[in-house]
Copies of this chain bind each other. A is one copy, B any other.
């Protein structure tokens, strides 16, 4: 059975004992931009935050793409978010990825060379990368200056969050 089928099945049990406190109208106070990596999924445990206090935005590498800016602007102006944390992590799959080779292989196998206009956004230094993403968000004209934007790296070997 596929994981998706398993998920639908498990959801039936969840629905039976459904706890409305999990899904009341949200009043989140912080948006966290982090990586899709499954080791970063338990933000409540890692950061001691209440689930309903946090909007979570995740892509490969915790990059401040246009999509992330779009999402942050919605989060601030529609939902009421007051702080932003950009959280990269050690051992990220994008750290050290050879993007030219990766794209060449994709193009070779699929016959399509231009599947993305934005590239894959590989990087070589996670702390520098987080600093750059923080700068991109801070300097965007649609992100209000009153919103603090901070950066951190989560170390997957120790569980430690380091400010950058």
Contacts and interface: CB of A to CB of B under 8 A. Distances in A.
Interface of A: 2-4, 6-11, 13-15, 18-19, 22-26, 28-31, 36-39, 41-49, 51-60, 63, 65-71, 73-75, 77-79, 83, 85, 91, 93-94, 97, 102, 106, 110-112, 115-121, 140-142, 148, 150, 152, 156-161, 163
Given A29-B3, A46-B14, A106 B142 contact: yes
Q: How many copies does the complex hold?
A: 2
Given A36-B71, A59-B57, A49 B115 contact: no
A57 B39 contact: no
Nearest to A28: B38
A48 B68 CA distance: 28
